[in-house]
Amino acid sequence: MSLVILLVTGYGWSNYRHLLNGLATSDVADGGGADGAVDILLVGMDSRTDAHGNPLPEEVLRELHAGSNDASLTDTVIMLHIPNDGTSAVGFSFPRDSYVSIPGQGNHKINSAYGRGKETEIASQQQSGVTDPAALDRAGNEAGRKTLLRTVENLTGSSIDHYAEVNLLGFAKITESVGGVPVCLNSATSDTYSGADFQAGQQTIAGPAALAFVRQRHGLPRGDLDRVVRQQAFLAGLTQTALSGGVLANPNKLRELINSVQDSVVLDLGDDTDVLSFAERLRGLAGGAIKFDTIPIEDAAYDTPDGEALKIDPRAVKAAVRAASVPPSAPASPTPEPPPTSASQQAAAARVDVLNGTSTSGLASKVQDQLKTQGIDVGTVGNTSKRSSSVIRYGSGSEAAAQEVASLMGAMPTEASSSLSSGRVQVIIGSDYDGPAAPRFSSGGAMALDGTARQQEPSEAPISAAGIPCVN
């Protein structure tokens, strides 16, 4: 028995070291915080390169129906939320057209957060004299990941502990290495954009077909929202396959999985001890304890400067994430909220006033609406004397809240004010204001997205990894 244990342990450890030695890594997550859960950000990149930045061959792009795209957009953003007791997990999907606050960038669709952060960092590096394309790309990608991660943290109130990013090729190769993923469709579907061509009913998909399954949105009844459900159903099937033991107990499949992960996945998983202890905690998870859901959507046809988007209420998102951390046996009576710790929580707790110092009538009210969508309640809305420069003033102890509001307003300057009491923040809009709701505010052309079908509210029933759900 001791010899068997030694051999099994040695085999598992050698595979683990093999995985780490060839893995593309990142250092974007700061380890999170003691917020009652382990949170992992799962990102699917619309990327034409592998995990190490090498361009994919043309024949591979043709097989994957990838086409051409120079923008760094995210097709999939899911936060896997695992309470500290390790008995359950919820994957929250963020539809790509969710209109959210991107730190330092203002309000935009969430799928552009990575690209906006990347472009900003590359421009900054070039101004500093960096000219090497590879160095610029590496710095830009790290900044893009951090921007997306901070966007999700601000929206959910969670501290992201780990980050995992997979590219187009990864979806195809990983599904082949595990022997395919079981899925089920309500009806047959075909789409030339993604290459999707599926019959109705249960089926097992792998390779380019799996990529087409999770990317299709044209021809679906609810457009991108149905694609989000597709991705959740795919992950449920992948989870069931992995937990069944058919992959981890098969040396050949395990080796193929490790090789595909090395080619197509970028991970930030902390140190070795952290990874192993994390894996140990998840051993007791059964398929039925893993569910996938979509963040609450307030308006599925919201008009924005970026085009039609999904209006998100950050307060509802934070409430949904908090609810996922409450054990089923916990009492129904509400528990008092902890004191604000993050900048976003402090901003939500502060009293924020908006004053219009321009000749544009109603601008303060429009800014109030923008802040409200980000979970910031505005107290006084009014006018002030005309001024050329915009500024955010704050009272004693409110600097963090002011900085958070500034990021929501397009990086407005801040300054302390002795005339304001503690806990107060004052947004004063000048004629130079070009942030959200400004008359001349518009999004950059580089981040333009192709059109989508008019969308409806997502299904309220979460998808469980206990079975194979049939979806559109």
Higher local confidence (pLDDT), 76 or 88: 76
Per-residue confidence (pLDDT) for residue 232, from 0 to 100: 84
Higher local confidence (pLDDT), 335 or 311: 311
Question: Of the given ranges (85-89, 109-113, 455-459), which has the lowest mean pLDDT?
Answer: 455-459
Cα 403–Cα 411–Cα 101 angle in degrees, nearest 5? 85
Q: Is the pLDDT of residue 230 over 70?
A: yes
Question: Of the given ranges (204-213, 315-324, 375-384, 411-420), which has the lowest mean pLDDT?
Answer: 375-384
**CA–CA dist 90, 320 (Å, integer):** 10
Q: In which band, very low, low, confident or very high, does the pLDDT at 178 lie, cut at 50, 70 and 90?
A: confident
**CA–CA dist 292, 183 (Å, integer):** 15
Higher local confidence (pLDDT), 165 or 249: 165
Arithmetic mean of pLDDT over the chain: 74
> What average pLDDT does this structure show over 102-125?
92
Q: In which band, very low, low, confident or very high, does the pLDDT at 268 lie, cut at 50, 70 and 90?
A: confident
Higher local confidence (pLDDT), 179 or 1: 179
Q: Is the pLDDT of residue 152 over 90?
A: yes
**CA–CA dist 195, 369 (Å, integer):** 40
Structural domains of the chain ordered from first start: 24-170+227-237+266-327 (3.30.420.590), 343-442 (3.30.70.2390)
Strand segments, DSSP code E, in 46-195 are 74-83, 89-93, 98-102, 106-109, 162-166, 181-185, 189-191
Q: In which band, very low, low, confident or very high, does the pLDDT at 472 lie, cut at 50, 70 and 90?
A: confident
Question: Of the given ranges (133-137, 147-151, 181-185, 251-255), which has the lowest mean pLDDT?
Answer: 251-255
Cβ(237)–Cβ(214) below 8 Å: no
Q: In which band, very low, low, confident or very high, does the pLDDT at 442 lie, cut at 50, 70 and 90?
A: very low
Per-residue confidence (pLDDT) for residue 63, from 0 to 100: 61
- DSSP of 263-279: HHEEEE--SHHHHHHHH
> Among all chains, which residue has been given the structure tokens 């995985």?
19
Q: Is the pLDDT of residue 428 over 60?
A: yes
Strand partners, 93: 78, 294
Cβ(229)–Cβ(456) below 8 Å: no
Per-residue confidence (pLDDT) for residue 99, from 0 to 100: 93
Q: Is 40 helix (H, G, I), strand (E, B) or coil?
A: strand
Q: Is 236 helix (H, G, I), strand (E, B) or coil?
A: helix
Q: From residue 140, how far is each of 11, 147, 240, 334, 429 by CA, in Å?
A: 38, 10, 35, 43, 31
Torsions phi, psi of 231, nearest 5?
-65, -40
Q: Is the pLDDT of residue 19 over 60?
A: no
> What average pLDDT does this structure show over 222-236?
84
> What average pLDDT does this structure show over 58-74?
60
Cβ(287)–Cβ(466) below 8 Å: yes
The closest of 18, 19, 314, 270 to 163, measured between CA atoms, is 270
Higher local confidence (pLDDT), 28 or 261: 28
Chain-centroid distance, C-alpha 302 = 20
Per-residue confidence (pLDDT) for residue 89, from 0 to 100: 81
> What average pLDDT does this structure show over 381-394?
85
Q: Is the pLDDT of residue 3 over 80?
A: no
**CA–CA dist 266, 51 (Å, integer):** 6
Strand segments, DSSP code E, in 57-172 are 74-83, 89-93, 98-102, 106-109, 162-166
Per-residue confidence (pLDDT) for residue 122, from 0 to 100: 93
The closest of 415, 423, 425 to 340, measured between CA atoms, is 423
Give me 315's structure tokens.
């307060």
pLDDT tens, position by position, 330-351: 554 454 444 444 555 555 556 7
**CA–CA dist 425, 409 (Å, integer):** 13
Per-residue confidence (pLDDT) for residue 443, from 0 to 100: 36
Q: Is the pLDDT of residue 205 over 80?
A: yes
Q: In which band, very low, low, confident or very high, does the pLDDT at 120 lie, cut at 50, 70 and 90?
A: very high
> What average pLDDT does this structure show over 256-279?
61
Return the biggest CA–CA distance within the chain.
83
Cβ(272)–Cβ(248) below 8 Å: no
Q: Is the pLDDT of residue 450 over 50?
A: no
Higher local confidence (pLDDT), 299 or 343: 299
